[in-house]
Amino acid sequence: MMNNSLFRTLQYFNPSFYAGLSLCIVLSSCSLFGQSSSGSTRKWVGTWATAPQLVEPGNMPPSPGLTNNSLRQIVRVSIGGDTIRLKISNGFSTGAVTMKSVQIAVSTGGSTINAVSNKELKFSGLSEVTMNAGVAVTSDPIAFTLTPRMDMAITIYYGQTSASVTGHPGSRTTSYIIAGNAIDKSDFTGAVTTDHWYNINGIDVLVPSTAACVAILGNSITDGRGSTTNLQNRWPDVFSESLLKNPGTQQVGVLNMGIGGNAVLSGGLGPTAVSRFDRDILNQAGIRWAIVFEGVNDIGGVNSAAAATTRANSLIAAYQQMIVKAHARNIRIYGGTIMPFKGNSYYNQYSESCRNTVNEWIRVKGNFDGCIDFDKVMRSPQDTARIVSSYQNDGLHPDAAGHKTMGESIDLNLFTGSNGTTVGVNTPETIDGCALAQNYPNPFNPTTAVSFQRSAL
């Protein structure tokens, strides 16, 4: 082995050292990160993600807790690939969290994994990693065969953890906790169970450059309220399955960034949609499209005509801000109309007026690149202020049948790219009956308008 002093001497006196080193780095990068074995260019694209938040007291990990214990969590990805990286967040905790080992495997149902597929992740080459308060980490890339809509098990053996926990309560998926180091166990039989996720944040996959993902900003409806635990049948799941069945959209990943109880403007659970838009939507790997389907939790508190007008205007301004940000990154952004909620405590004449004003803006006067008309799909023909009775159970949230209807209603042509025309400059468009605006008002200066050129995404 060459000693360090001799290495430094050769490095200093050999001019070709840097060229050779650079070439090695470039070739290695191309091999692992930039190209497939056939030589085609590849890139990172999100295949699964969830929005982190501060876990409320009622959703904390049950006894024995996480410290010095093992946690197995199950996620279902959207698109497949052969190389992945895992993102883990400690963004909302007030203390450090140490993970002594993190392993991934193919889930075979419940807490059981395919032991042959089990692989340990590294973080800067190390098995153990500590996340300080407010910090997120990404694993080193690892070769792992990921098939579309595959269930993956992520097992973490923790060291010390924080009293406050970063996670995602609305997982609609069972997780498993065993005391001590059970990282290598193929079966977590006897584990304590909880239907929440902790710390895990996202999975990116290395795929051809033609692939991309759509990130969905939403509340409890998008997060899967009313769907079936462990069946992965939220409307974004159904949407993902539709994309995979369609030859023109099989390389589109779907990232569900819904948070139960989330609001666009203020209050609610988790960071507001406005404040988390950059983190949860714009910063996703390989994002080409965004869907904004939020607002009902802001509208639900409206109790006067004046408040209805003010709230509608504030929501529209927030949507405009998101549109400007998305277009600045060449991301096409679609608005989802707010579904009816008569029969729920949110409903009164003023909140209904506010909902209709916002939906009209999304459909006709808005500046989204297209609209996904969930209101039209889900409302009752007999009473348009209500969801069809067979699609809901509380007047607000869809049931499993409602989620299926929503997911299957989306026009997949919205996710097949662009022809490079300039949006909004003498080129009005209509998609599924929703007119698109001809320019983009600037929410930071209402007297001006901003136009954007669509590239061939």
Which residues, other chains included, contact 416 with Cβ-Cβ below 8 Å and sequence gap of 6+?
A: 248, 249
- Cα distances from 404 to residues 250, 251, 342, in angstroms, run 19, 21, 21
Q: Judge whether residue 454 has pLDDT over 50.
A: no
User: Mean pLDDT across the stretch 275-290?
Assistant: 99
User: Mean pLDDT across the stretch 430-454?
Assistant: 31
Which is nearest to 34 in space by CA: 287, 198, 151, 207? 207
Q: Judge whether residue 424 has pLDDT over 90.
A: no
Q: What is the pLDDT of residue 393?
A: 87
Helix (H, G, I), strand (E, B) or coil at 236: helix
Which residues, other chains included, contact 372 with Cβ-Cβ below 8 Å and sequence gap of 6+?
A: 291, 293, 334, 335, 336, 337, 409, 410, 411, 414, 432
Q: Give the integer Cα–Cα distance in Å for 309 and 229.
A: 38
Q: What is the pLDDT of residue 39?
A: 52
Q: Give the integer Cα–Cα distance in Å for 384 and 368.
A: 23
pLDDT band at residue 423 using 50, 70 and 90 as cut-offs: very low
> Among 18-22, 108-112, 234-238, where is mean pLDDT lowest?
18-22
Q: Judge whether residue 178 has pLDDT over 70.
A: yes
Three-point CA angle 191, 193, 199, nearest 5° = 105
User: Mean pLDDT across the stretch 77-102?
Assistant: 99
> Looking at the domain covering 211-453, what would its CATH class be?
alpha beta
Per-residue pLDDT of 359-399, as tens digits, reads 999 998 778 999 999 999 999 999 999 999 999 989 999 99
Q: Judge whether residue 332 has pLDDT over 80.
A: yes
User: Mean pLDDT across the stretch 102-110?
Assistant: 99
User: Mean pLDDT across the stretch 346-359?
Assistant: 98
Q: What is the pLDDT of residue 36?
A: 53
pLDDT band at residue 27 using 50, 70 and 90 as cut-offs: very low
Per-residue pLDDT of 129-149, as tens digits, reads 999 999 999 999 999 999 999
Which is nearest to 335 in space by CA: 299, 390, 305, 294? 294
User: Mean pLDDT across the stretch 302-315?
Assistant: 98
Share of the chain above pLDDT 70, in %: 82
Contact (Cβ atoms closer than 8 angstroms) between residue 20 and residue 174? no
More confident residue, 229 or 442: 229
Which is nearest to 346 in space by CA: 294, 298, 293, 292? 298
Amino acid letter, 72: R
Q: What is the pLDDT of residue 457?
A: 29
First CA to last CA distance, the chain: 49
**Please, what is the average pLDDT of the chain?**
87
Q: What is the pLDDT of residue 366?
A: 72
**Residues linked to residue 136 through DSSP beta bridges, in sequence order:** 89
More confident residue, 23 or 339: 339
